[in-house]
């Protein structure tokens, strides 16, 4: 396993956003996480990435306990993430945005030994935007720049938080193709939160469903639609408040 959470809980005062979440992700797989709005998906990402310390439990990355590490230390170990709202530097060019990613990555400030920034842009199909300011990009291209920034860190595990939000259907298909290409070409493990269940089922090797901070399903994508707890979660009155 490249990543494990062991009985991870996160509380904000009296509100329990995550409750004893066990997660095990294998190296080089694409792992999907879904659940209704407020289920705790982004909170789980933030705990894994070191933004929030867990109230209880442990985070294990490559057999090392990283529970108490901050985001920059975890990034240097090879775990990178994107956000629901793409975070780029609007006054910098696409090239310089990706170069910023390279500064904070797995190579710990040394010159990257992996793909160059130019080859990263070429890999993502955005070389023509290299000198374009990030502020002038459309949403889809901005998301690709975010991917470029994470790839420049030389990550081993890439966490994508709702990357399909706001995209048109053709852009969704294109973006999923890029994710598959990243996974297949570099062997990078991908964990993806998704709100479009069909798309997540299509791309994932295994899935986890959260509801009110509790894991209600872990298993094959094919089993998601048939699981009674998942059906109740999406069609019933469930749903939490801690996205």
Give residue-wise pLDDT tens across range 16-67: 999 999 999 999 999 999 999 999 999 999 999 999 999 999 999 999 999 9
List of residues 6+ apart from 115 with CB closer than 8 A = 123, 151
Gyration radius of the chain over CA positions: 17
* Phi, psi angles (nearest 5°) of residue 67: -55, -40
**pLDDT band at residue 90 using 50, 70 and 90 as cut-offs:** very high
List of residues 6+ apart from 12 with CB closer than 8 A = 242
**pLDDT band at residue 114 using 50, 70 and 90 as cut-offs:** very low
- What integer pLDDT is reported at residue 102 of this predicted model? 87
Q: 223: which 2 tokens?
A: 């089993």
**Cα 85 from chain centre:** 12
Instruction: Give percent above pLDDT 70 in the chain.
Output: 93
**Domain over 1-78+157-243 is classified CATH 3.20.10.10:** no
* Phi, psi angles (nearest 5°) of residue 98: -65, -35
Q: 1: which 2 tokens?
A: 């396993």
**pLDDT band at residue 213 using 50, 70 and 90 as cut-offs:** very high
Rounded CA-CA distance 127/23 in Å is: 37
Hey, how many other C-beta atoms are within 10 angstroms of the C-beta on 239? 15
- Compute the average pLDDT of residues 192-220: 97
| Domain spans in the chain, listed from the N-terminal domain onward | 1-78+157-243, 88-155
- Among 130, 129, 72, 123, smallest CA distance to 101 is for 72
- 8 A C-beta contact, residue 173 and residue 197: no
Determine the longest span between alpha carbons in the chain, in angstroms: 52
What's 221's DSSP letter? G
Give residue-wise pLDDT tens across range 134-192: 999 999 999 999 999 999 999 999 999 999 999 999 999 999 999 999 999 999 999 99
């Amino acid at each position: 396993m490249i990543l494990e959470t062991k009985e991870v809980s996160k509380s904000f005062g009296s509100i329990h956003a995550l409750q004893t979440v066990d997660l095990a992700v294998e190296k080089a797989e694409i792992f999907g996480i879904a659940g209704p709005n407020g289920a705790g998906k982004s909170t789980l990402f933030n705990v894994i990435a070191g933004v929030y310390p867990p109230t209880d439990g442990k985070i294990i990355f490559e057999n090392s306990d990283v529970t108490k590490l901050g985001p920059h230390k975890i990034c240097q170990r090879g775990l990178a993430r994107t956000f629901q709202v793409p975070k780029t530097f609007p006054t910098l060019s696409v090239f310089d945005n990706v170069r910023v990613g390279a500064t904070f990555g797995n190579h710990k400030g040394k010159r990257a030994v992996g793909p160059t920034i130019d080859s990263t842009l070429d890999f993502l199909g955005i070389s023509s935007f290299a000198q374009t300011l990030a502020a002038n990009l459309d949403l889809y291209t901005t998301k690709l720049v975010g991917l470029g920034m994470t790839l420049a860190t030389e990550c081993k595990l890439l966490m994508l938080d709702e990357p399909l939000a706001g995209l048109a259907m053709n852009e969704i298909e294109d973006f999923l193709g890029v994710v598959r290409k990243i996974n297949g070409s570099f062997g990078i493990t991908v964990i993806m939160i998704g709100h479009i269940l069909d798309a997540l089922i299509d791309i994932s090797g295994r899935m986890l469903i959260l509801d009110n901070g509790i894991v209600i399903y872990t298993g094959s994508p094919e089993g998601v639609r048939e699981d009674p707890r998942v059906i109740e979660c999406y069609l019933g009155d469930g749903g939490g408040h801690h996205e």
